[in-house]
Structure 1
């Protein structure tokens, strides 16, 4: 049995016209000989009646709602979506079985609101596929060993789709969204941003972790376990979008000189903190990091010297971080309204001069680099938020990513 998993996000199922376009992709897959498993998100986005955020807005600040009950409420959006989608499939003559996450065999941890998938028993899904049905599964949810409904946190429907793809040994996983694939940069910032035809798992994870919101990195990491290809596609297009595999493109199609950079992404709403001990206290670095860990504050962009520790925190955690560090008797300098710009590419590793070109591109446009860091596939620069759009364009232009988009 050739199995294809297709995930349709909130915008892809938001109204009847979009759902019909989604079903046409399912019909194409059936004609190609696939057995199809469909994962659906809640319909629409905040403000629309059945979107998850709309359901959450039913809870008032002083309501006594437990995390368990909150997950029950949040699971309703996907349930409504799946039932409506299943009915539309049957109306078009396609036999369908609608399953909740638990009925589909998804067993999770008991961390309400951010559960992790512990295991999947695919027997029910396989039986339905053997009987010739398209299986529609509610995304974003599962059950604990004792039957409690849980939700999987941000990107949960992507995670459901790729986890099912791994459990079912799917041939490919399609992630349908409202864009035509992975772009070399945010097209709202770069007019010449191009669609990438192929990217690696590592590249797309770095894109996602650094601000791109096309697919959740946890989902990509699951697909990597069995090297199952992912296609990021637009619901409103028949184009095959961006293929995500272990290689940037099939060997037989690869150019003589691989690209250095794949694309540029960014994330804002962070604050840079420079932490010192004016008393010259030894071990203050350890105290600072332990305090942030105890507060549950995620840190990024570390730089540790004998006299100073520098890192970034999300804007939402800024006040709490500064207060706790002051309680330790440490001096804190906060640089607010900064953003991370990330140049991502599997071809960076071992290539001299990449950082020099990035620094040249930014300084020629008068952009101050506050901090930088790098890995095998990513170079990060911290800049003032007012400069982020120009910084993305500068790096995009420097590496001529307009021309490389199709690579």
Structure 2
């Protein structure tokens, strides 16, 4: 197992928060002006700085400001930015060849990544995998596979879900703004069911599952449903952790009706929650599992892994894509998986203990902190009006902006925009993590 200090990566960045200019600084301000002239307005930037280097728990901008990273590029750089193993493996592959298209001429890296995914994903049944570029692309292909395997077309998704920004995945995604507004019409044959949300509904997992199943069975004929797709812990929807028993009950119901159960582990996968995959927390063995984000240390790669008989249902040539399973990304993925298995799962649990202790202490003193939830290095707090319990998106926005100005990168989420999510790289040191949490706590207190 590597010590955290041994895997900081990137240039020799001091693991210290330091602000040399206001945020944004003058050089970042100049770059923002260039962005406005060159980049479509629909592409926003949450924190208006431009990055020069990153590693460990630090992101350094072009003005020399060193910010504490509690976002990991939305759970992508889980092994740490510029992890030495990822850099070395990628550089070695870059020197040999950068692309052939696996569907034209194959290469070992693609096969090796599929072998690794088949090994580490939940379940000991025979599996197959296929590689793609983005999470949304993998979700679309998982739906294709389920439809091919079942001969059915309907897909069930859940309230607060987020599955991507392509046409089909926008239909699966619940939140309209900013993901869907003005982009319809969307793909059909998608139905939505209520999610288990313990903070808001107070139901047991079994009760929530019964309500969801009854809703589904009223909306659509069972022999028309190809798949149910769900995030074991919802990401953009607010880091919603379903009540115990909810996911297994849904999986059992799906299995009893020949419905493919798809776990979207794009944000939860690869040690993020203190298990290699979040499905493990519920004892869940999905039929298909979708991965991306943390899979390749920052390089674009995604995958669908699942039961061999399902994965093999698509005809030859039906799955693929020009860049899917790029050889450099595959090399990075193999190095990342090795790092996850070399102590980073345990590291995620330790990070989660630190975060939970700090956030729970905050909740006991501030009634605006309605809920603290998550697992491992995927934790969140939900901010509410203490009098009504209603979501407080304005406070959330103010607190996030104050943290940014103080040099801490945090992200917001939630259907109502009132959740602050924490996704630190697993390479962050304890002292830096605690400092970031102190800054965030102060930002909320002053909000």
Structure richer in strand, relative to its length: 1
Q: Could you say whether these structures have the same fold, taking a TM-score greater than 0.5 normalized by the shorter chain as the test?
A: no
Q: Between the two structures, name the one with larger relative contact order (CA 8 Å, sep ≥ 6).
A: 2
What is the TM-score of this pair, normalised by structure 1? 0.30
Structure richer in helix, relative to its length: 2
The higher radius of gyration belongs to 1
